[in-house]
Amino acid sequence: MAFIQYETEGQVAILTIDRPKALNALDSAVLKELDAAIDAIDLNEVRCLIITGAGEKSFVAGADIGEMSKLTKAEGEAFGKTGNDVFRKIETLPIPVIAAVNGFALGGGNELAMSCDIRICSENAVFGQPETGLGITPGFGGTQRLARLVSPGYAKQLLYTAANIKAHEALRIGLVNAVYPLEELLPAAKKMAAQIAFNAPIAVRACKKAVNEGLELGMDDAIALEEKIFGDCFETEDQVAGMAFFLKKDKQKGEKHAPYQNK
3-state secondary structure of 8: strand
Q: Give whichever of 19 and 205 is closer to ligand CAA, judged by the CB atom.
A: 19
Least spacing, CB of residue 110 vs ligand CAA, in Å: 8
The long-range contacts involving 8-11, CB below 8 angstroms and separated by at least 24 positions, are 8/45, 8/46, 9/190, 10/194, 10/197, 11/45, 11/46, 11/47, 11/48, 11/194, 11/197, 11/262
Least spacing, CB of residue 130 vs ligand CAA, in Å: 4
Q: Give whichever of 44 and 69 is closer to ligand CAA, judged by the CB atom.
A: 69
Q: Give whichever of 45 and 77 is closer to ligand CAA, judged by the CB atom.
A: 77
Burial of 47 (0-12, 13-18, 19+ CB in 10 A): buried
Least spacing, CB of residue 109 vs ligand CAA, in Å: 7
Q: CA-to-CA distance for 96 and 13, rounded, in angstroms?
A: 11
Q: CA-to-CA distance for 133 and 130, rounded, in angstroms?
A: 6
Least spacing, CB of residue 155 vs ligand CAA, in Å: 14
| Contact residues for ligand CAA, defined by CB under 6 A | 22-23, 25, 61-66, 83, 104, 106-108, 111, 130-131, 134, 138-140, 142
Q: CA-to-CA distance for 49 and 11, rounded, in angstroms?
A: 9
Question: Could you write out the DSSP letters of every residue in 18-53?
Answer: --GGGTT-B-HHHHHHHHHHHHT--TTT--EEEEEE
Least spacing, CB of residue 66 vs ligand CAA, in Å: 5
Residue among 7, 45, 111, 169 flagged as catalytic? 111
Distance of CA 132 to the CA centre of its chain: 24
Q: Give whichever of 106 and 197 is closer to ligand CAA, judged by the CB atom.
A: 106
- Pairing relationship of beta strands 165-166 and 126-128 according to DSSP bridges: antiparallel
Residue among 131, 184, 216, 237 flagged as catalytic? 131
Residue 111 annotated among the catalytic residues of the structure: yes
Residue 216 annotated among the catalytic residues of the structure: no
Q: Give whichever of 11 and 110 is closer to ligand CAA, judged by the CB atom.
A: 110
Phi, psi for residue 97 in degrees, rounded to 5? -125, 130
Kindly list the catalytic residues.
111, 131
